[in-house]
Structure 1
Amino acid sequence: MGKYDIDWNLYADISRRAAAEGAVLLKNDNKALPIKKGETASVFGRIQLDYYKSGTGSGGMVNTRYVVGILDALKNCKDIYINKDLLGIYEEWVKEHPCNRGIHWGEEPWSQEEMPLTDEVVSNAALNSDLAVVIIGRTAGEDKDSSAEKGSYLLTDLEEDMLQKVCKAFKRVAVVLNVGNIIDMKWVDTYNPAAVLYAWHGGQEGGNSVLDVLTGEVTPCGKLSDTIAYNIEDYPSTAYFGDKKRNFYAEDIFVGYRYFETVAKDKVMYPFGFGLSYTTFKTENILFQVPKFDGQESDCQLKHDKSGIVNILVKVTNTGDVKGKEVVQAYLSAPQGKLGKPSRELKAFGKTKELAPGSNETIELSISVKDIASYDDSGVTGHKSCYVLEAGKYEFYVGTDVRNAALSGVLEIAELIVVEELEEAVAPKIAYERLHANETVAGVELVNEATPLRTIDLQKRIIDGRPEEIPYTGDKGYKLGDVFDNKISLDEFLAQLSDEDLIHMSRGEGMSSPKVTPGTAGAFGGVTDNLHGFGIPVGCCADGPSGIRMDCGTYAFSMPNGTCLACSFNTELVKELYVMEGKELRKNRVDTLLGPGLNIHRNPLNGRNFEYFSEDPLLTGKMAVACLSGMHEFGVTGTIKHFAGNNQEFGRNESDSVISERALREIYLKGFEIAVKEGKARSVMSTYGALNGIWTAGNYDLLTTILRKEWGFKGIVMTDWWAKMNEDGEETAAHTNTQYMVRAQNDLYMVVENAAKNTGNDILEESFNNGVVTRGELIRNAANICYMLMNSPVMERFLGRMSEEEKAASENAQNEDNIAFDLAYQRIEDDTLLDLTGLKTGRGDTTMFALNFAKRGLYDISLKVKSHSGELAQMPVTISIDRSIVSMITINGTNGEWINVTRDLGVIFNQNCYLKIYFAQGGMEVDEIRISIREEIDLKKIMEDKTKEEDNE
């Protein structure tokens, strides 16, 4: 097998291991789990028949070859038995109560209707089983939050009734949670099941991973990447969550365990980092080494060498009777000082290899002294806009979760040290109060204080930061390949591009652009004939964090969701998984995956938490580094998103996240900073909404001052799809305001239908002519795009330098998926006859057309067909648009006569779509296929109506 060929069995094995290691065992009384060989389990819960491999939206739309659900895996296991009588009852009930997946995006409910249980059914099951496995499911998704209601964050009445009846009838009950986000857990105390396992959304191998944990093939070793409190109201962010216009982050840096461990330990049901095992471990602190600080020499000792590192060695021994892995976590307790600090902050973690009973491993935890500093956004320490170490004792606690961590050692700092001098950026403009920690005789208390507001002149900073103009030289015959080969400078090359070319280059095309891999999200770079003529290739990006989304129906691998991966605390395993993802991206000629998602789990109700990793920025950043490092081994990369403050889906296009500069730098930007500095990220996606009054797609301080100037980021920033921008001070934003995007160094507007003909959809050209945007700024952004392209596989492919090995793998990919990378598009007007060249109608054949629709609207499809079979013959035909089946036709034999069959093709919103026709039987001839519009749709009016509907809500 060659370097670029994918071993799908290996891919599946790695994903299965990752999902298993991400499963978190919260309860296991009297060793209820694992299930022993020869035992019979009664499986309750309708979701056993409708496993959630991932959430909805762009983060979950992966077309997989197969999905193994939990029931599938249990049935395939030869060592245990399933109560078939109970299963039969569920199967019959589900026939009449099918899973509701919704018709359109965002319409799928977060839970499915549960089957009512009678006492008789439950008692009969108990008589014939050794234990019960209860599966409860929740999906999650884009553009819609969870709610603190039954069927979402809370259990439904029927789910509660199921738990009550089953826990009463069975001595051993194991509850498995097939969920994207954490849910209310008070029912554990109410019904007292023996075991509880968070299995998350495990991707297409998720069922097998759950089986591995349930049977003990894998000893559970996942740890919670979030705090589970008793009530949703206990999270300090809940009171400031869900407003469409503006959300004040009044809890400030006290997010998740940083809040609970400081002032509300009694409100925690399961602490951050918690997770049980089938075995036991002993952790011993064998070394604690700190740097020394000697007055004036302290600054130089803060460099990343041994003198600026806290080193902790922890010996972990398996003291139980089965194999297993353990996670070691190091937390900081900093002196409160003037800034006020959380009682605990995660600063390092490590995971052992699989330890046999009695064996041990020493874990080394290294913490840079720079990383224990706090940001002063008010100047209270005398050093505004600086990271500082206040004088006092810095205590380091080591353990297996935030609550079970013992003092390892102390670093004493005699006087304040300025670690890093920065400049104020992205500070809020609206007055509000935030939480602040004060140390009292009785302990730490949180009080309200005024949040520091913006003091800098942003417009002056923007004007002063404008790059120098590079005069237009006209075409000198240079190609981007000449820059790639170091024959000329990038500036010399870009000077050839006209103002019009540069404006066109700021526009990405999609969805399903014909210029890149079919069915992907977008194309960027050489998207016009003129740009392409300068040797600028067209880069390709594809959704999403859980696997490659290709709407044409190409198969891809569906991986565990972000939260599941973070709960593994295993960066090596996550990197191993993303090496496979990188190879798959390379195979499909995708240059960047639109992920991973790095937003913080500020509140459990955020519908998109399943894509993101954790409530903790360090864990988030390290997981992102693992993902990026894996993909980089094959030259491709990830687009880290959503930068920044995308912590709510409701009203995401309008809502303003009002966050202090300190909370931004210490919490909400920190994971991105780690991904840029350690993970060498080269692609970033901004958000839909606003951050401190400025929509992020045009937020200069976010994208230029912090991301590029402070962090040294080199690469592209793209908008989220069809995002809005505004000028500082404007209360509303618009899709047309791409001038502010360009000025802020958000290089690409994603997406337009035609980069050269976007007149009326943005006012960039007008703004350029009026001096709002300069040629220098356009060239600067074009340089960022070219940098990305020259550091992507598309560059060498464009130059004809693909290796023979990669060419062969690419050809194999096309044969595997029955799809060509260069599939020609056919234009669809009001009534269009498709070109049938090469159409086959044999048994099991699939024919696909790439279609470019002139209008959005309701369409019909007509087929003119005949068969020489008699009228009793049945020939099923399945018609799909992108990944969705829109019609299934059964055509009887026509005795050689031509007939016309017309079906509803549905609503076509995207300009570029893929029509797939599958012939289940042979013996049919097709003379013509016609696509015709039935009713044109005004998309602008639909969007306006949707906005009004949201306003009413």
Structure 2
Amino acid sequence: MKSLIIKSPTISARSIKALLFKVIFLGIFMFKMKPLSDKINTIDFYVGGTIMVNQLIGVPLEGFAEFSRKVAADGAVLLKNDKQVLPITNGEKVAVFGRVQKNYYRSGTGSGGSVHVSYTTNLIDSLRAKSEIHVDEQLASIYDDWIEENPFDDGGGGWAAEPWHQQEMPLTDEIVKQSQAVADKAIVVIGRTAGEDQDNAHEVGSYLLTEEEKSMLKQVTTYFDKVAVVLNTSNIIDTSWLKDYSVQGLIYTWHGGMEGGRAAADVLVGDVTPSGKLTDTVAYAIEDYPSHENYGSDTCNIYQEDIYVGYRYFETFAPDKVQFPFGYGLSYTTFSYSEHTANTVNIDNQAYINVSVKVTNTGSYSGKEAVQVYVEAPQGELGQPLRSLVAFGKTKELSPGESETLMMHVSVNSLTSYDDSGVTGYRSAYVLEAGTYYIHLGANVRETVAVSVDKDLGFIVENTRVIEQLEEALAPLKAFKRLKPGEKRSDGYYNPTYDDVPTRQISMQDRIATRLPREIAQTGDQNYKLKDVADGKVTIDTFIAQLDDAELATIVRGEGMSSPLVTPGTASAFGGVSDTLLHYGIPVGCTADGPSGIRMDSGHKSTQVPIGTLLAATWDTELVEELYVFEGKEMVRNEIDMLLGPGMNLRRHPLNGRNFEYFSEDPYITGMFAVANAKGIMKAGAHATPKHFACNSQEQSRNKVDAVVSERALRQLYLKGFEMIVKEGDARGVMTAYNPINGHWSASNYDLNTTILRGEWGFKGIVMTDWWAHMNDPIQGGEQDRRNTQHMVRAQNDLYMVVANYGAETNAMDDYSLKGLENGQLTRGELQRSARNICNFLIEAPVFNRDQVFKDSFGKLSANQAPSKEGQSLSAAGSVIPSSIGSVTFKIAESGEYRMFAALKSPGTDLSQTACNIVLNGETVATAQTNGTGGEIIKQKLQRIELEEGYYKLELDFTKPGMTIEEISFNKVN
């Protein structure tokens, strides 16, 4: 058994600070059923025998939930409001239909929604709390009784097991008639969820309404004259049914986090005037979306629509297919626009078009208005959408009659297009084609007015000019045709045509060979610590020179999930994950899911905020930045360095199950909210990790479906938000996607991670894989494998996430980093480059300034008095088999310190995730966590615990169901 013990007489305060580590109650080590001594590596940290514990871990940040309620209300999107059905006004009585009034969704499923909260809210109870209105309690009680007999179906609680919708209570005419006799208005609540590893489907109960939901709408609209539908969904769903029912109101309240129920009630009763607007186009039918024809393959997803995603397609080719346009959203009040002007200015040697407009509240409610600016570029040689969003702004809350002048800045560089073919005469360059660029300003993409620029009709470019000359990168290998505007129709729109997509011309082998980093001559241990680099005493290269090849291969491995080295239940530990790396003062960084709140599978509580869909629908980046200052503070409180978010892939198709984590179909609004997210977290002292880099447009077969996409579409759409968060948000971490892009898996894609991210954008942080990702050869492509870390490092994806806990130093995954070094697939300089990236990041991370210690022990637990029925007796070693109800009583015959192990299995896939707390005498003493084991029993090392002679009751608390624990072992520590 290997052990590193540091005691107070031999450790300085500086060393403690540099070596970090935290007290937690959990340690996990996964391995097949082999002798335990072959695999165990214990690391014990203590100072003077005292365990230092952060008592605030798992304590939600004060005021965070309350602020998230405000944000959730601001993101509600009102799409229809005939007869002023909303708001519900003073003295009115409302009948609420639909089970989701009680089983209100707060987030999607998977890692983006797995947040343990101290409470949650629903709509019906939140409406009841509004003293100014009245709820039909008789109807509510009918729902309460039915829901008690038909409880919420979580699919067994396993990974991606929860169904998209819940069974709806059948209504009778008598129930509806009784309610209509006492209520003034009806609210119908329809809910949907979606999530990781499970796309939505073009089926009833997912994108489409169920027959029960349709029947509910028919019955309610038959008896009520005023009916509003509340959509508590993670993403847009089909709303073509509006034509079939007399529905006066329609509002998306989305998933608003733990305060979502209260936020929705705030909007419905008019305490908050809705000011959200769509960040997607709502078409009449799923088949109308341009990506639909090529969506859902298990192997190859061709992005034939090219840059014409969402409104860029509909406003150019098919405006008649749109039910609700991009940027659309109503209010309880009305606004007028006046005094709109535009002029060109130079700011810091950059050309901008300043667009100004006076917004006046002309209605009777206070409210906010989001104003949008679009450009109509000349078609030129490249072809262009008729509209592209280039700026937006949002007023403060304006009282009736009050005005505010908004100033929005449009960078002239944002009007450029990428020429990947050379048709303009400038291949591999961002160009500004000659012609007039018309500026449109308005309330949504459809309701706009043209604004003159410097008294001209638009911004005039006399001659085509290069704004940024780059080089070919990420061009596809596969030939295909892409959409482009053809002949202009009499109605001003275009007929579609197609042209060939340029394919790769460069040699990837030559590119990599000519750009290899230099190797640093290895020196061995010179007694330099990472703190010496931070203090300027030695260079980072001098420090890295100390690491031998095994240490270099270790540092590019992260451990998790629920690592014992970091905050309980979090996603990974990285950096100083071995004795020798710790010796050099490399701290252990901590990452945690996710975009909607901190995920801790140990059951520790945090604040769950609204989903990305809702955040972007606020059109208020300042508000969202302030929200993520709270998020950053809660991260620092929980000793977490990196939040695995924001999610920022484009919502290319409505059925992507993970759309709820993302912001929009538009790259500019995606980038703006990603920047707000990153800035907020960094203001609080922590870091964001934008994901999934790039083109994660479907969850089905997400670890193998190839995104075949043009270089132009990649640069202008799918990478643009990432570019913005790096350049404007100063993001220091990036997570790559599971999928390949043009034949090369994202985690080992050289052009993605080195040529573009670091070379063109100047990114200085660390790049990590998604958890248990696959990689292939960045030169040859070909077969992919999780063990291909040599290809990962070559691409400058620095960290493999994750190997088993205690497995980084022992190479538990048997990866190929060192083999690649031996056979020439990897150079030492490339490994050293990734080590440098990781260490430089850790110097800037919160962990570098924390005084922390780690002790791989729960401490002492008192025994119970003898129970009425004695259980199994354990002496120096033995195992306890929990009963079918997950508990058992046993006796410890000899006091002392014991090491715990768990034998467990999970039938899930290799990407599924489950967790279980181990509880002794009412105290949570450890957490077992695993992804799917295919039903095979594995053994995990947990932590040590000091037990008195006596009786103990062992219970299992499954915080993420799907796991079966066969036995818990207690081995006496000598």
TM-score class, shorter-chain normalisation, is 0.7 to 0.9
Q: Label 1:915 to 1:75 Cα distance change in 2 as closer, same or farther (>3 A).
A: farther
2:402 corresponds to:
359
Does structure 1 residue 746 correspond to structure 2 residue 797? Answer: yes
Quote the offset at 1:863 in angstroms. Answer: 2.9
Quote the offset at 1:908 in angstroms. Answer: 9.4
Do the aligned partners of 1:145 and 1:648 also contact (CA within 8 Å) in 2?
A: yes
For 1:192 and 1:840, the matched residues in 2 are separated by: 65
Match of 1:437 among 485, 489, 505: 485
Q: Label 1:638 to 1:660 Cα distance change in 2 as closer, same or farther (>3 A).
A: same
For 1:438 and 1:862, the matched residues in 2 are separated by: 70
Do the aligned partners of 1:323 and 1:355 also contact (CA within 8 Å) in 2?
A: yes
Q: TM-score, normalised by structure 2?
A: 0.84
For 1:585 and 1:715, the matched residues in 2 are separated by: 19
1:377 corresponds to:
420
Does structure 1 residue 550 correspond to structure 2 residue 600? Answer: yes
1:54 corresponds to:
107
- Determine helix, strand or coil for the equivalent of 1:330: strand
Quote the offset at 1:732 in angstroms. Answer: 3.0
Match of 1:155 among 209, 227, 239: 209
Quote the offset at 1:760 in angstroms. Answer: 5.2
Do the aligned partners of 2:350 and 2:411 also contact (CA within 8 Å) in 1?
A: no
Match of 2:473 among 425, 437, 444: 425
Quote the offset at 1:174 in angstroms. Answer: 1.1
- Determine helix, strand or coil for the equivalent of 1:751: strand
1:869 corresponds to:
none
Do the aligned partners of 1:511 and 1:910 also contact (CA within 8 Å) in 2?
A: no
Do the aligned partners of 1:327 and 1:349 also contact (CA within 8 Å) in 2?
A: yes
Match of 2:617 among 558, 567, 576: 567
Q: Percent identity?
A: 51
1:535 corresponds to:
585
Residue 793 of structure 2 aligns to which amino acid in structure 1? V
2:539 corresponds to:
489
Quote the offset at 1:757 in angstroms. Answer: 1.2
Q: Which region of structure 1 is more displaced relative to structure 2, 396-405 or 908-917? A: 908-917
- What are structure 2's unaligned runs of at least 5 residues? 1-54, 453-457, 867-877, 892-903, 907-912, 923-931, 957-962, 968-974
1:506 corresponds to:
556
1:735 corresponds to:
786
Deviation per residue, 1:90-139 (Å, 9 max, x gap): 12211222111112101111001111111111111111111111100000
Does structure 1 residue 863 correspond to structure 2 residue 888? Answer: yes
Quote the offset at 1:837 in angstroms. Answer: 2.5
Do the aligned partners of 1:858 and 1:933 also contact (CA within 8 Å) in 2?
A: no
Quote the offset at 1:770 in angstroms. Answer: 1.2
- Determine helix, strand or coil for the equivalent of 2:615: helix
Does structure 1 residue 68 correspond to structure 2 residue 121? Answer: yes
Does structure 1 residue 310 correspond to structure 2 residue 347? Answer: no
Quote the offset at 1:69 in angstroms. Answer: 1.1
- Determine helix, strand or coil for the equivalent of 2:175: helix
Do the aligned partners of 1:836 and 1:928 also contact (CA within 8 Å) in 2?
A: no
Residue 714 of structure 2 aligns to which amino acid in structure 1? L
Does structure 1 residue 587 correspond to structure 2 residue 630? Answer: no
- What are structure 1's unaligned runs of at least 5 residues? 292-300, 801-820, 827-834, 843-853, 867-878, 892-904, 918-923, 937-953
Deviation per residue, 1:405-462 (Å, 9 max, x gap): 1101210111101000000000110011110123536443221111111111011111
Quote the offset at 1:763 in angstroms. Answer: 1.3
2:279 corresponds to:
225
Deviation per residue, 1:639-696 (Å, 9 max, x gap): 1000000010000011100010000000000000000000000000001110000000
Does structure 1 residue 116 correspond to structure 2 residue 174? Answer: no
Match of 2:847 among 794, 805, 811: 794
Q: TM-score, normalised by structure 1?
A: 0.85
Do the aligned partners of 1:375 and 1:665 also contact (CA within 8 Å) in 2?
A: yes
- Determine helix, strand or coil for the equivalent of 1:59: coil
1:347 corresponds to:
390
For 1:933 and 1:185, the matched residues in 2 are separated by: 42
Q: Label 1:336 to 1:74 Cα distance change in 2 as closer, same or farther (>3 A).
A: same
Residue 397 of structure 2 aligns to which amino acid in structure 1? E
Does structure 1 residue 241 correspond to structure 2 residue 295? Answer: yes
For 1:214 and 1:250, the matched residues in 2 are separated by: 41
Residue 81 of structure 1 aligns to which amino acid in structure 2? H
Quote the offset at 1:321 in angstroms. Answer: 1.1
- Determine helix, strand or coil for the equivalent of 1:648: coil
For 1:782 and 1:496, the matched residues in 2 are separated by: 11
Do the aligned partners of 1:859 and 1:933 also contact (CA within 8 Å) in 2?
A: no
1:624 corresponds to:
674
Quote the offset at 1:765 in angstroms. Answer: 1.1
Residue 611 of structure 1 aligns to which amino acid in structure 2? E
Do the aligned partners of 1:285 and 1:312 also contact (CA within 8 Å) in 2?
A: no
Deviation per residue, 1:582-615 (Å, 9 max, x gap): 0000000000000010000000000000000000
Do the aligned partners of 1:19 and 1:209 also contact (CA within 8 Å) in 2?
A: yes
Does structure 1 residue 127 correspond to structure 2 residue 181? Answer: yes
Q: Which region of structure 1 is more displaced relative to structure 2, 725-734 or 406-415? A: 725-734
Q: Label 1:776 to 1:840 Cα distance change in 2 as closer, same or farther (>3 A).
A: farther
Does structure 1 residue 323 correspond to structure 2 residue 374? Answer: no
1:804 corresponds to:
none
2:819 corresponds to:
766
Q: Label 1:446 to 1:771 Cα distance change in 2 as closer, same or farther (>3 A).
A: same
For 2:938 and 2:590, the matched residues in 1 are separated by: 17
- Determine helix, strand or coil for the equivalent of 1:200: coil
Match of 2:459 among 411, 417, 422: 411
For 1:512 and 1:759, the matched residues in 2 are separated by: 16
For 1:915 and 1:165, the matched residues in 2 are separated by: 58
For 2:658 and 2:964, the matched residues in 1 are separated by: 35
Deviation per residue, 1:347-379 (Å, 9 max, x gap): 000000000111111111101111110000010
For 1:414 and 1:358, the matched residues in 2 are separated by: 43
Do the aligned partners of 2:489 and 2:495 also contact (CA within 8 Å) in 1?
A: no
RMSD (CA atoms)? 3.0
2:835 corresponds to:
782
- Determine helix, strand or coil for the equivalent of 2:236: coil
Quote the offset at 1:305 in angstroms. Answer: 3.6
Match of 1:837 among 852, 855, 861: 861
For 2:58 and 2:167, the matched residues in 1 are separated by: 42
Q: Label 1:915 to 1:774 Cα distance change in 2 as closer, same or farther (>3 A).
A: closer
Deviation per residue, 1:524-582 (Å, 9 max, x gap): 11111100100000000000011000011110000000000000001111011100000
Do the aligned partners of 2:221 and 2:227 also contact (CA within 8 Å) in 1?
A: yes
- Determine helix, strand or coil for the equivalent of 1:41: strand
Q: Label 1:935 to 1:555 Cα distance change in 2 as closer, same or farther (>3 A).
A: closer
Q: Label 1:326 to 1:477 Cα distance change in 2 as closer, same or farther (>3 A).
A: same
Q: Whose helix proportion is higher, 1 or 2?
A: 1
Q: Label 1:90 to 1:64 Cα distance change in 2 as closer, same or farther (>3 A).
A: same
Quote the offset at 1:30 in angstroms. Answer: 1.5
Match of 1:465 among 510, 515, 528: 515
Does structure 1 residue 448 correspond to structure 2 residue 472? Answer: no
Q: Which region of structure 1 is more displaced relative to structure 2, 554-563 or 729-738? A: 729-738
Do the aligned partners of 2:440 and 2:448 also contact (CA within 8 Å) in 1?
A: yes
Deviation per residue, 1:294-341 (Å, 9 max, x gap): xxxxxxx7xx54761101111101111110000010000000000000
